[in-house]
Every structure is written in C-alpha cells, then in structure tokens.
Structure 1
Amino acid sequence: MPQQVYHSPVYHSQSIQAWEQRWFARQNSSYGLMQQVAWTLHLQIRKIFAKQPSTIQKIAVCCGQGNNAGDGYLTAKYLKQAGFQVDIYAATRGSSADLHQAFLEAQTEQVNIIQGFAFQQSYDCYIDALFGIGLDRPLNDEWQSLIHAMNQQAGLKIAVDIPSGLNANTGQPLPCAIKADYTFTALGLKAGLFTGQAQEYTGLVDVLDLIPADAELKALAQLTPHLIQLPARQAFGHKGSYGHVLIVGGHAQMGGAVMMAAEAASSAGAGKVTVVCHAKHHVAILSRAPNLMLRDIDALTGAEIQHLISQVDAVSLGMGLGRDAWAEQHYADWFAALNQSEVEVVYDADALWFLAKQAHSSHHPAQLKPNSYATPHSGEAATLLNTTVAAIEADRIAAIQQLQQRYAGDWVLKGSGSLTLQAASTEPQASSLWICTAGNPGMGTGGMGDVLAGMIASLKAQFHHKIQLHEIVMLHALAGDVLAQQGMRGLQAQHMSQAIYQVVNR
C-alpha cells in the first residue's frame, strides 16, 4: 500500500456505521452519500485505467443485495456515461429505497443489467460490490462459488469498501474473499483491511474521504507511519552514549537465536552489546561479531545478575533459551531480577513459554512491570491465553487486548499486519493500538523474531520513551522489505543486519 507518513486512524465497522447514521440524523441525504461514493469511486477507477499498460474498455460490475450494491449500480452508471462498455451482474435486490433508486438510475442510463452471475464474456475489469462491511457470517456455497469464479477471471479487480467475503474487523475470509488489485473503502479505514489475512485480498488500499468526522467517532487503532526519523547523534557521543544491551538466552543446543538478536542490536545502533548464553557458543559468536561482549550464563550468581542488570539500559530475554529444567531455572532467576528492575525488558520466544507456564500453574499470571515488551507470534499467544492458534487468528485485535489485560506490559502480536498494543501513549489523543502495514511473506522464516527482539532492546536502550514500540516494529518490517527487493523466497534473518543498518540511518 502507499507509504503512510502520517497517523491514519483505523475504525471498527460498527463505528463507521454509527457515524453514517449520525450524519443522516443531521438531515444529510443517505442517497446523496451513495452518489458521492460512486462518483468519487468512478473518478479513481478512471485514473487507474489511464495507468494500465493496455486499454480497459469492458467492465463487469457485480452487485449484491444491500447498499454496497447501490454504490455498484451508480458507479456503473457513471462509467457508462464516461464511455465505457459496462455490464451489471446483479443478485435479487434488497428492499432499500436507496438501492432501488440506484438501480433505476443505472437502468435509465441503459446499462445492461443481467440477473445472476454467469459471465457472458471476458472483461477487462471486474468491480466487486457484492457485500459491504456488515458481513460477519460465513458465506454459503453459492456465494463462495461466485467469489471463486471472480478470482479466476484475468481482468483487473476493484473492491468497493472491502473485498467481499473479508471480515471488516478481523481481516479473516469467511471462508473465501475476492482477491482485489485495489480496494476503495468509504469514509474511513477499517481494521480488517490491514491485519490477519487481509494483505492476500485487499491489494492497494485507499479511502474515499467524503464527510467530516464528528466528536463521537473514535479510532480503534492507528496505522504506523512508514517514515520513522531517529534523533541525530551528537558530535561528542561515544559508545557509552548509545545504550548497553544484554541478550540473554542461548541453550547449549540453540546458539543461533542470541547471535542474530545481538547482531540486530548492534546494527540498530546500540553502543555496547553483551550476550549472556551457554559458554559453548562463545567462540562462534566472536568469530561472527568480535564487537560483542560475552558472559557465561552458568557462571553468574544471583548477585552478579542483579549487578549486571544495574549496569545496562535494556535486556532481551528468551531467544534460544530452551524449555528444559536448565532453561526454567535460568528463566526464573532472570525474570525475578528483571521484573523488579527499572531497565527496559523484552520477553521473547522461550521466555514467553515460561511466562505462560507460570500463569497456568498458579492461575495468577505474573504482571509485567512498566517498560516491559512481549513479542509473541500467534502460536505463543495461544499458549499464553490457553487457547488455539485458530482462535488467535480469528480475531487478532481481541487477542492482543486479552494478552495485555492478563499480563500487563506492552505487546506485539507478530504476523501479517503486526499489531502493537502500548500500555500508555505519549500522545493522549492517539490510540494505543497500532497496525504495521510494511513487511512481506519472505519474513516468515526462523530468526526474524529474534532480530526484532534485539532491535527493540537496542532502540529502547538508545532512546527509551523517545521511540515508541510500534515504530520499532515498523523499522523491523521496513528492513525486511529492503531484503525482499531481491526476492522473498530464501530471505534469511541472518542477513537482516545490513538492512537494519540502512533503515535506522535514513
């Protein structure tokens, strides 16, 4: 999607619908708004057509039964007036007066209206006006067959408001959805356009911004801007000026995770990075990155752990720690010390597994202190909430809210459209829930989470409250996009360091 350089609010579908009703209650015409949507949409569509490498002339507009179909009928009318060959494929219409009027206007313009969805020819463009944002139930077999048939067509596909079949709030298909090249959503952005499986269906997203927001309209989330500007370094700075990071983990059988986290922390600008892990990995770590410092995790007493924590600015715990008795004892020692400290702490990977185990065994989850950042993927989130991955993915926003309610702290729910939920925003008017719109499928590979954990610790060590968690998530995603410029397949987390170096220096 286009780069977001400002805070873009994202709404729940019910908030959008209530906003519409308040607009109509002020004597504004509902049919007039339908006309505005269609007129603005047809202008945007014509701009898209003008940029296509081949001429687009034949258009199929697929209209369902509700007011979303009314947008389709009027869009078809305006495109016919502009000289395009337009056919409407229509379901049995609902009883809305606005929908009936839109149908009559398309009919008066002599747009060819065909009952049913058996395409009579191939088209250059298919416009999806089947379902709007109110759809929240699984589609029946007939609608699923239609959506599959539309997806198999070769022409350009444009969705009105939301790709039909996609849940507007969760980004989950019900169980299938139109795979659009462009989505033009009315009035405001909806959360389901950006998280869950949304990126598979939405294409490029733009909003038809037609009426002024009122005081009662509240955003559910914000899109994190793509432009993240870090403070410039002072001319007299030195390694002690830019934070000391501890990376703690590295079971005897798992040394790679702490290596990648530590290298990411260095590449993101930390002045000093110390890796605390099993001693068998020390030689390998120094051969890869001689700038890193090392401590043997088995040689530290409780007092030495406390002293070490007091000397650093941020700690990342859990990468490659393991889940055996050895790992559990080290987790317990470090968690007890970290959760009583003032230091910035990132909990990732196996630290989250032990956090969940602790919660399930005691029935009283540990409450994370302020300046704690937990970074689960959906599998880890399912363990933390004692549920299934399917339940997490069914409503990722609800899941991250439950995680914070249960454990406190700040949270990242990783995945496509990663979510960040911050306990308190430095901007009182801003939502504490943020959605990342960068990143790519190539980042679905082992070690990417370790890299993120290292970046969070590094940038928090350097800037503390001057950088927000959601901004670090965006920088990580942008680094992944830098790597993916040469291709997504085979992208490896160990190659992220150079890309991180680029994005933190933009």
Structure 2
Amino acid sequence: MHQQVYHSQQIQAWERRWFEQQNSSYGLMQQVAWSIAQRLHEQFQLLNIKKIAVWCGAGNNAGDGYCIATYLSQWGYRIAVFATELGTSKDLHAAYETALQNQVNIHKINLSNDQFDHHLDQQFDCHIDALFGIGLNRDLDENWQRIIQCVNRQDGLKVAIDIPSGLNANTGQTLPICIKADFTFTVLALKAGLFTGKGKEYAGKVSVVSLIPNDNELSPIAKLAPENVHLAKRAAYGHKGSYGHVLVVGGHAEMGGAVMMSAEAAFASGAGKVTVVCDAKHHQAILSRAPNIMLRDINLLEKQEIEALLDHVDAVCFGMGLGRDDWAESQYHQWYPLIRQAKNLEIVLDADALWFLALNPELLDSHYYLTPHPGEAAKLLDCSIGEIENNRIDSIHLLREKYQGQWVLKGSGSLTYDDELWICTVGNAGMGTGGMGDVLAGMIASLKAQLHTEISLHDIVTLHAKAGDILAKSGQRGLQAHHMNSAIYQVVN
C-alpha cells in the first residue's frame, strides 16, 4: 500500500468529523502526546539526552507540547518550556494546567524582546518545536522569526511536532523561515509540504502518529512514490531489437553535450539501440565517448528521411540542446508535426522543446512525457518562477489541465503526474547541476521504449533519483551528470 499524502484542510475536516462523533479532542491531544513521548523516550535513551527545551505557541500544537513536556518530566527528564501567551483553546489551557500541576518549569516568552535568551545559557540536549501547527499559512512577523532563529541557533537535537514551525504544510515553502528539524512527528497523516519544495530540507526524518481511523470523506492529494522499483527480468532469447530503439533529437551547433548525456543515459538504462540526430560538428565527440551510438546530421534530413527514421524507433527524446534561435525554431516546426503524426511512439519533450510548446500550446496524448524544471514550467504557464515554487502541487495540476500528457515537475521532492500525483522522496541536492534533466529525459525514453505501460513515469523518476543517491555517497558537491551512467546501470539491475 502506497503512503498517501493529504492537504491540511482535509486533515482538519477529518478531525472535526471525529469530534462530532463525540470523541474527545483533549483525549486525542493526550494520545498524540503520549505516543510521541514514548517514541522520544526510546530515542533519548539511545542518545543519552537528559535536558530538553519545549517551545510552545498559542494554539493546539502547543497543547501537544505541554502534554509531551508533562510525560517526559514524569520519566525524570529535566524539562524547560518556553511559552508565549496562551490562546483561547480549552484543550490548550487544560494541557497547560496539567503541566503546571506536574511542576514543569515554564518560562514566558515576550515576543517584543529577547528576554528569554538568558534561560538558554544552560545547554539543552534537545529542542522540541510546538510553536505552530498545520494551520499556519501567513508569513511570520519579525518577532516570531527571531524566536525561530533562536531555536535554530541552539545545539542539540531538533524535533518538530506535526510540522516544523514556519513551514507551509501544503506547499513546502518557508514563511519565510522555519525550524530546521532532525525529526518530525506528524500527527494523524502525512502532509504534502513535508516532502516537496523546501520541506525535505527542514522536516528531517518524518514519522506518522496515526491514532484515528480514516473515514470515507478523507481523500489524498498525492502518494509517495515507492523507493523500490523492480523491472521485469529479460528473456534469454532477447536481442537488441527486443529492447527498444531510442531517437534523441536536438544538439544545436553550440550545444552538443545535452544530446550526448541523454543518449548515454538511454543506453545505460538498457535500450537496445540509440540514434542521435544533431549538428554534425558534435559527431566526433559523441563517437569518442560512446561508439555504439548511431548518428545523423540534423541539417541534412528531409521530411521523408525523418518520417522513415521515426517509423523505425520506439521512443523519441526531443529538445535537449536544441536552442531557441531561428534555426532551432525552424527545426522544431519541421520535427514536431512529424513526431505528432508518428504511430506508437513514446515521446519525451524536454528543455527547448518545452519552450516552443509554450509558444504553440496544444493538447497532448498520454504517451507524451514532459519534464520541466520550475523555469520551464513558468514559461509553459505564463507565470513567474516564484509562483511555481510557491505551490508546486497546484502548478503541476495546471500543467496537466492546460496540456494533458504526463508530467514531471523537477526539483526537491520532484512531482510526477501520470495516472495520479506522486511525490519522489529520494534524490539529493547534489543533483542540482547542469545535465541532470537531460539524463532523466534519456532514461524516460529508454525505459518507456523497453517496457511501455509496464513501467510508470514516477518509477523512472525514482530510479533517476536513486542513481543520484549512489553517486552522492562520496559527497554531493561536485557531482556531475555525465557520471550518472554507472549508477543508472546499477539501479536498473
């Protein structure tokens, strides 16, 4: 069963329906806190943690914090709570009063000054963040930003309750700063913001505290893509014609590297044959790296030759290094209509093909795979990069609505929309380097040429990310796209 991911409003409505059935809201708060405290107790014993600071805000998330502080103090931990003024919630006040009755040491935070800083002269082994919950959807003012900066400056383990304070639960964007947690215990169900955008950086290791049963009205907005992808075993009688012929088209006279990396990734992913069509000035360099790649000069092909070539391939990967000048535009308008009319083709549109698609928008079939980064997505939707990044999930839905086809919105926690929305949970920041998208495009074309509907787009994105993780075992800085082939060879096997 794939892990499902929800919008914060769905979680809140689910809670209300639970309470309308006469279930106790304070009882649920206590259960959540008890479950988290037990898990923390196990970790604290392993890590020899004894002194703990709990940071509590004014909402029910703070109530979880007070309850956790109470339970941990009963087990003998030295607890200090740093708390703002209480909100109006009865559950919050009950949790606060219980903490006082158990002699938990509570220090009041005055948001208008730094008076709480002198309490931090003592060293804490762990800081528990219960400042804000999933309802936060506004930018924090300077006072709250100062508190979060203070917490982040402290040494010791950082633990977030439900979601790191300052992180938008649905978009994964910071508001504008956020607690940087080592662990997040998210309550009831997974939230999308923990896995995409900046969420992956700030949430740390995510665990779910699931205490009430799902009801029929609760509907996920996405699923986490499975990390383990198993490809079908090859038949002993297979030959190069059995495993797909990939055509890579692009390679402006000034940009030869992109088609080279796509083609090599296609071979590393298991394609039986790969042909590159690009400017002839790149042919010698391509052959010197990969003599098994077949080559055609893009400037010499007439319509009939292109049609004949498309008839003999299983997948085409179009746009890498094509450019955006007059030559590139003429090539796009020569190739794209012929690609559109070819039968039984798996079609990957990447890089400059996406640029020209944005200028000439049309509806696409399900065998089109489009792989924009945020800048390309912004061009396709005629908006800013900031608008894309501020709500990546809405953005991929808009791309799908406008163009149809299947989509990958690349970035931290890459999103894939094939049959439904998936979030990739593997990959690393070292993959943020030129050429990684070309490698992904080559992998998609190759694996679709081999397996067609037997492999999903989100599984290919996961394989690409896992290959990047193999390379990053020796360090993320300096990781380069043309080093991916050996890692791809490992993950597809």
**TM, length-normalised to structure 1:** 0.94
Alignment of 1:449-488 (within 5 A): 449-488=437-476
- The code of the aligned residue for 2:376 comes to E
Alignment of 1:303-322 (within 5 A): 303-322=304-323
Runs of 4+ in 1 over 3 A off after TM superposition: none
Indicate the residue corresponding to 1:411 in structure 2. 407
* Residue-by-residue CA offset, 1:147-171 (whole Å, 9 max, x unaligned): 0010000111000000000000000
Instruction: Give the whole-Å Cα distance in 2 for the aligned partners of 1:281 and 1:140.
Output: 54
Matched, 1:83 2:76: yes
* Residue-by-residue CA offset, 1:373-423 (whole Å, 9 max, x unaligned): 11000011111111111111110111111111111111100000000112x
Instruction: Give the whole-Å Cα distance in 1 for the aligned partners of 2:219 and 2:26.
Output: 25
Unaligned runs of 5+ in 2: 111-115
Indicate the residue corresponding to 1:500 in structure 2. 488
Matched, 1:50 2:45: yes
Indicate the residue corresponding to 2:416 in structure 1. 420
Identify the range of structure 1 (299-308 vs 343-352) with the bigger mean alpha-carbon deviation: 299-308
Q: CA deviation at 1:304?
A: 1.7
Indicate the residue corresponding to 1:302 in structure 2. 303
Indicate the residue corresponding to 1:23 in structure 2. 18
Aligned with residue 348 of structure 1, among 347, 350, 366:
350
Instruction: Give the whole-Å Cα distance in 2 for the aligned partners of 1:214 and 1:177.
Output: 32
Q: CA deviation at 1:460?
A: 0.3
Alignment of 1:37-186 (within 5 A): 37-52=32-47, 55-116=48-109, 118-119=116-117, 120=119, 121-186=122-187
Matched, 1:282 2:294: no
Q: CA deviation at 1:25?
A: 1.2
Instruction: Give the whole-Å Cα distance in 1 for the aligned partners of 2:166 and 2:217.
Output: 29
Indicate the residue corresponding to 1:491 in structure 2. 479
Q: CA deviation at 1:234?
A: 0.7
Indicate the residue corresponding to 2:113 in structure 1. none
Contact 1:339 1:369 (8 Å CA) reproduced:
no
Matched, 1:400 2:400: no
Contact 1:158 1:183 (8 Å CA) reproduced:
yes
Instruction: Give the whole-Å Cα distance in 2 for the aligned partners of 1:225 and 1:20.
Output: 28
SS of the residue aligned with 1:59?
A: strand
Indicate the residue corresponding to 2:367 in structure 1. 371
Indicate the residue corresponding to 2:422 in structure 1. 434
* Identical positions, percent: 62
Identify the range of structure 1 (441-450 vs 278-287) with the bigger mean alpha-carbon deviation: 278-287
Contact 1:339 1:368 (8 Å CA) reproduced:
no
SS of the residue aligned with 2:207?
A: strand
Instruction: Give the whole-Å Cα distance in 2 for the aligned partners of 1:49 and 1:303.
Output: 70
* Residue-by-residue CA offset, 1:451-493 (whole Å, 9 max, x unaligned): 0000000000011011110110000000000000001110000
Alignment of 1:180-219 (within 5 A): 180-219=181-220
Aligned with residue 33 of structure 1, among 23, 28, 31:
28
Instruction: Give the whole-Å Cα distance in 1 for the aligned partners of 2:306 and 2:22.
Output: 67
SS of the residue aligned with 1:176?
A: coil
Instruction: Give the whole-Å Cα distance in 1 for the aligned partners of 2:59 and 2:275.
Output: 60
SS of the residue aligned with 2:197?
A: coil
Unaligned runs of 5+ in 1: 1-5, 359-364, 426-431
Instruction: Give the whole-Å Cα distance in 2 for the aligned partners of 1:68 and 1:195.
Output: 22
Contact 1:384 1:403 (8 Å CA) reproduced:
yes
Q: CA deviation at 1:309?
A: 1.2
Q: CA deviation at 1:27?
A: 1.4
Aligned with residue 435 of structure 2, among 447, 450, 454:
447
Contact 1:11 1:189 (8 Å CA) reproduced:
yes
Instruction: Give the whole-Å Cα distance in 2 for the aligned partners of 1:22 and 1:322.
Output: 54
Instruction: Give the whole-Å Cα distance in 2 for the aligned partners of 1:22 and 1:100.
Output: 23
* Residue-by-residue CA offset, 1:293-317 (whole Å, 9 max, x unaligned): 1111112111221221121111100
Instruction: Give the whole-Å Cα distance in 2 for the aligned partners of 1:478 and 1:188.
Output: 25
Instruction: Give the whole-Å Cα distance in 2 for the aligned partners of 1:266 and 1:7.
Output: 30
SS of the residue aligned with 1:434?
A: strand
SS of the residue aligned with 2:450?
A: helix
How many aligned positions are there?
484
SS of the residue aligned with 1:280?
A: helix
- The code of the aligned residue for 1:108 comes to Q
SS of the residue aligned with 2:36?
A: helix
- The code of the aligned residue for 2:156 comes to G
Q: CA deviation at 1:326?
A: 1.1
Instruction: Give the whole-Å Cα distance in 2 for the aligned partners of 1:217 and 1:229.
Output: 30
**TM, length-normalised to structure 2:** 0.97
- The code of the aligned residue for 1:26 comes to Q
